[in-house]
Structure 1
Amino acid sequence: MKSTTLLLICTMVIALSASTNAQLLEKTIKKVGKKVEKEAEKRTDQKVNKGIDKAFDKAEEGVDSTVKGDGTNNQKQPAQQGKPKQGASATGEQPQAVLTWAKYDFVPGSQIIFEDNLQDEQNGEFPSKWDLVFGIVENANLNGDNVIMFRKCNINAYDGIVPLMKNSNEDYLPDEFTIEFDAYYEKYNNSYRIFLLDAKNQKNLDKSNNLSSRHFLRFDQNAADGKNIAKGFYPGFSNADTKSIPGWRHIAISFNKRALKAYIDDARVINIPNVDFNPVGFTVGFHNPSGNINGYIKNVRIAKGAVPLYSKILTDGKFVTTGIKFDVNQATIKPESMGTINYVVKMMNDHPELNFCVEGHTDSDGADAANKTLSEKRAAAVRNELINQGISANRLTSKGWGESKPVTSNDTPEGKAQNRRVEFVKVK
């Protein structure tokens, strides 16, 4: 009897245990199933989100590249624009860069009158080396570079800025001078207007006292013109072409007694042999027809022209140039330096008896040893570029002096710029 009872109890316990396990198993399966379902949904959402993020990233990259220029090397290169590729008008393809600088003949003046590379400027403040004519102008940062931003300017009035000069109410532009700056274009029809007169301090020198009659140069992204000056176009453009890419342009003006030339990047767009006015000062302003785009400029330089470089060799046995420029703390030659380099190449081809030691010099910023090394690398870079242009290597040597041979004080931006120079010393 006891055995039967025990057996019955064991059977009931096993049955109950099996039933309980079955219920637990069923609950566990349901619970695991829900977790699996949730995890599947979670992973699916993650994949979808990643796909969305990538799509937005690409869209943002497209916006960034539009704002910055070409989106890749806009920090060091000119705006990627110019002559359209074949078939561009039919396909709607944007014009692409054709910047060779091979025929660039702009040679800047050797004595710097005014220099502003915007070093140490405070964002949001008014540019410290300038005076305001009218409008809203302040320091800003664009793609990592300090720039002067024109927030609101009406170019048809007394708008823009003028450099702070000691003799600003007098004619401070010599008979030979050059003006250079970099200008950012977000749209093709934005324009920067240069008045060769100080609109704030030289009104006594303007007999007409009428801004519209003053002589000026206007630079669009792909063209330049001015008062009584016919419009000249960047190669590949023949009208107000909307096929343009936002980015930087290097603007340059050369004046020699009566002759005036103007350049956009690597191309000369204006060449007037005999102008009918006397440049006395400098005003720069920005005009945007739509009214909702800012203008930006940087690296402004005004320099006094010098006698032809070959004449300096005959009299001094060398010539000095500040027209060969480099990236900050680097030995990379800037494209706009090619005007001076092309001049030297032509000179050496025309005079095969000339041999040079290319000597590099820096300002006093930084450590002595680092400056000497930098000057050596820069001098070697210039020598190598001349060799690349066809000059025999045995006609050229190079040497760096660092900051050890200043030609003027390093107390001002103009002095520092004058000391950052390359000298071509004649050797036998």
Structure 2
Amino acid sequence: MKKCKTNKISLFVILLLFFGGIQTSEAQFLKKLKKRVKDAAEETVLRKTEEKVTKKTEQTFDTIIDGKIVKRKRKVKKKPTNKPGSNNTTNSSKNEEDRVSTEEIKSWTKYNFVPGDEIIFEDDLVNEESGEFPSRWDLLKGNAENASITNENVINMLNGAKITPLMDKETYLPEVFTIEFDALFKSVHGPTYQDYRVNLWPSNKNYGYSEDKKYYCKSINVNVHGASMDCVDNSSNKEYASFDEAMIVPIGKPVWRHIAISFNKRSFKVFIDESRALSIPNVKFKPEAFSVEVFAYYNELSAIKNIRIAKGGKKLYDQLVADGKFVTRGILFDVNKASIKPTSYGVINKVAKMMQEHSDLKFSIEGHTDSDGEESYNQQLSLQRAEAVKKALINAGIDQERLETKGFGESVPLTENTTPEAKANNRRVEFVKL
């Protein structure tokens, strides 16, 4: 009996030691496992952080630091062969993640600027090298260079810089023309100023003179919230100016403004974004050339991009009556997307108004591209863009039964795709009467 009891006690001690050992091992194992999980998590966080920093560093080649552009050497990545190279308005995917907000589009619903019919100069600054002078321009004074701001190529202009497009002739502006570009403003009021001055005469002249020399006009002066132009007629001053307080933004906050200028034989119109800043019915000098210069307090960051000069400006309805269709190059799209740029609503609003005034009109909306990228890709994109224009007109109140869409891609060029201007003229939307 005593022996049996002793055996039971021994068995109990053995079991206690065994399970105690298991618990101890399990605790040690869990402790080690917990440490490994923690180490792995920390390593993952560090790795992802390093990846983000590396990616950010590679993307931000030229960065704005305290209002200055700091340039870094960039690695050039090869572009996919199934996508276009340098089109600003040709090729896209159906992804609409970056589509312009409804609120922004609504603010352009009264915009009525319509670009000229034929592009005579266009520079989207593709393939330009940062730090170098822009290859399609001439420097008249000061200092300007290519740069990149938020991954967009721009011409950075220091205070007092003045540049002009390289053209075959010294005087090249026709009787009817339009000029468009985007300008960056950093400071807006208070102790600072920033002006872009548009000159419409050759570089050897200071003003635009009438033939009898009794009348002349100075530069078109554009700032973030308005524009002005001074003319002298027989010693009598004529001052044209506008100021829109709603366009003022906080000091130091960079903002891009779209500048659009139209001239029709004697009348000027100047738009800043969707607002008409100037409308001068009668100027007595003939514009001949284009240059732009910058005046900024303490070298505020100044830059321009997306520069386009076009000639002609025949009314859309007149084109329709004469040809049974009209062609527009003023409907633009985001790069590699079918999303319509807000500046396109000048044309879209005109088309909508025309269709409202002529209820019998029906159109086939036909998209065309240049030859950059694969042919099948361009054809698909041109159809997507035609459909985007159709949707915009439906949103403007046009019955969808009055609209059809087609996409021709690069198959119907108007000219060989050999220059930026030729490509810009091939990128178009046609409205064909049904």
**Displacement, 1:234?**
2.9
- Between the aligned partners of 1:67 and 1:328, the Cα distance in structure 2 is 27
Is the 2:207–2:218 Cα contact (8 Å) retained in structure 1?
Answer: no
Relative to structure 1, the CA distance from residue 390 to residue 67 in structure 2 (aligned partners, 3 Å threshold; closer, same or farther) is farther
Task: State the match for 1:413 in structure 2.
Answer: 420
Is the 2:331–2:341 Cα contact (8 Å) retained in structure 1?
Answer: yes
* Structure 1 residue 262 corresponds to structure 2 residue 265: no
Task: State the match for 2:430 in structure 1.
Answer: 423
The residue type paired with residue 187 of structure 2 is K
Task: State the match for 1:376 in structure 2.
Answer: 383
Is the 2:117–2:314 Cα contact (8 Å) retained in structure 1?
Answer: no
Relative to structure 1, the CA distance from residue 316 to residue 98 in structure 2 (aligned partners, 3 Å threshold; closer, same or farther) is closer
Deviates more, 1:268-277 or 1:243-252: 243-252
Task: State the match for 1:215 in structure 2.
Answer: 218
* Structure 1 residue 274 corresponds to structure 2 residue 282: yes
Normalising by structure 1, we get a TM-score of 0.72
Query: Could you tell me which of 189, 193, 199 is aligned with 1:195?
Result: 199
Is the 1:324–1:338 Cα contact (8 Å) retained in structure 2?
Answer: yes
Work out the number of aligned pairs and report it: 333
- Between the aligned partners of 1:151 and 1:244, the Cα distance in structure 2 is 17
**Displacement, 1:181?**
0.3
Any residues of structure 2 matched to 1:11-30 within 5 Å, and which? none
SS of the residue aligned with 1:107? coil
**Displacement, 1:77?**
6.5
- Between the aligned partners of 1:310 and 1:413, the Cα distance in structure 2 is 28
Task: State the match for 1:166 in structure 2.
Answer: 168
User: What per-residue deviation string (whole Å, max 9, x for no partner) do you get for residues 163-222 of structure 1?
Assistant: 111012x3x11111100000011111311110011225x6798699x9xx7531111101
Structure whose alpha-carbon radius of gyration is higher: 1
Relative to structure 1, the CA distance from residue 306 to residue 97 in structure 2 (aligned partners, 3 Å threshold; closer, same or farther) is closer
Task: State the match for 1:404 in structure 2.
Answer: 411
- Between the aligned partners of 1:340 and 1:293, the Cα distance in structure 2 is 34
- Between the aligned partners of 1:143 and 1:190, the Cα distance in structure 2 is 21
Q: Percent identity?
A: 47
- Between the aligned partners of 1:191 and 1:204, the Cα distance in structure 2 is 18
* Structure 1 residue 226 corresponds to structure 2 residue 229: yes
Relative to structure 1, the CA distance from residue 381 to residue 335 in structure 2 (aligned partners, 3 Å threshold; closer, same or farther) is same
Task: State the match for 2:134 in structure 1.
Answer: 127
Deviates more, 1:185-194 or 1:319-328: 185-194
The residue type paired with residue 246 of structure 2 is G
- Between the aligned partners of 1:339 and 1:419, the Cα distance in structure 2 is 20
Relative to structure 1, the CA distance from residue 116 to residue 316 in structure 2 (aligned partners, 3 Å threshold; closer, same or farther) is same
The residue type paired with residue 273 of structure 2 is D
- Between the aligned partners of 1:241 and 1:370, the Cα distance in structure 2 is 41
Task: State the match for 2:82 in structure 1.
Answer: none
The residue type paired with residue 390 of structure 1 is G
- Between the aligned partners of 2:333 and 2:312, the Cα distance in structure 1 is 21
User: What per-residue deviation string (whole Å, max 9, x for no partner) do you get for residues 111-156 of structure 1?
Assistant: 0111001011111111111111011111000110000010242xxx
Relative to structure 1, the CA distance from residue 106 to residue 204 in structure 2 (aligned partners, 3 Å threshold; closer, same or farther) is closer
The residue type paired with residue 223 of structure 1 is G
SS of the residue aligned with 1:118? coil
The residue type paired with residue 270 of structure 1 is L
- Between the aligned partners of 1:331 and 1:98, the Cα distance in structure 2 is 15
- Between the aligned partners of 1:318 and 1:129, the Cα distance in structure 2 is 34
- Between the aligned partners of 2:291 and 2:382, the Cα distance in structure 1 is 34
Is the 2:105–2:342 Cα contact (8 Å) retained in structure 1?
Answer: no
Any residues of structure 2 matched to 1:53-92 within 5 Å, and which? none
Is the 1:67–1:247 Cα contact (8 Å) retained in structure 2?
Answer: no
* Structure 1 residue 321 corresponds to structure 2 residue 320: no
- Between the aligned partners of 2:410 and 2:152, the Cα distance in structure 1 is 25
Normalising by structure 2, we get a TM-score of 0.71
Task: State the match for 2:181 in structure 1.
Answer: 181
Relative to structure 1, the CA distance from residue 77 to residue 138 in structure 2 (aligned partners, 3 Å threshold; closer, same or farther) is farther
- Between the aligned partners of 1:123 and 1:243, the Cα distance in structure 2 is 27
SS of the residue aligned with 2:318? helix
**Displacement, 1:294?**
2.6
User: What per-residue deviation string (whole Å, max 9, x for no partner) do you get for residues 243-269 of structure 1?
Assistant: 684210000001111111000001101
- Between the aligned partners of 2:410 and 2:116, the Cα distance in structure 1 is 22
Task: State the match for 1:287 in structure 2.
Answer: 295
- Between the aligned partners of 2:410 and 2:302, the Cα distance in structure 1 is 36
Is the 2:100–2:340 Cα contact (8 Å) retained in structure 1?
Answer: no
- Between the aligned partners of 2:104 and 2:118, the Cα distance in structure 1 is 32
Task: State the match for 1:246 in structure 2.
Answer: 254
SS of the residue aligned with 2:384? helix
Relative to structure 1, the CA distance from residue 246 to residue 65 in structure 2 (aligned partners, 3 Å threshold; closer, same or farther) is farther
- Between the aligned partners of 2:124 and 2:163, the Cα distance in structure 1 is 16
Is the 1:215–1:277 Cα contact (8 Å) retained in structure 2?
Answer: no
- Stretches of structure 2 lacking an aligned partner (at least 5 in a row): 1-41, 43-48, 50-62, 69-97, 232-238
Is the 2:99–2:339 Cα contact (8 Å) retained in structure 1?
Answer: no
Relative to structure 1, the CA distance from residue 236 to residue 412 in structure 2 (aligned partners, 3 Å threshold; closer, same or farther) is same
- Between the aligned partners of 2:410 and 2:325, the Cα distance in structure 1 is 19
Is the 1:193–1:216 Cα contact (8 Å) retained in structure 2?
Answer: yes
Is the 1:67–1:246 Cα contact (8 Å) retained in structure 2?
Answer: no
Is the 1:319–1:424 Cα contact (8 Å) retained in structure 2?
Answer: yes
Any residues of structure 2 matched to 1:282-361 within 5 Å, and which? 282-289=290-297, 291-361=298-368
**Displacement, 1:65?**
12
SS of the residue aligned with 2:299? coil
Relative to structure 1, the CA distance from residue 241 to residue 298 in structure 2 (aligned partners, 3 Å threshold; closer, same or farther) is closer
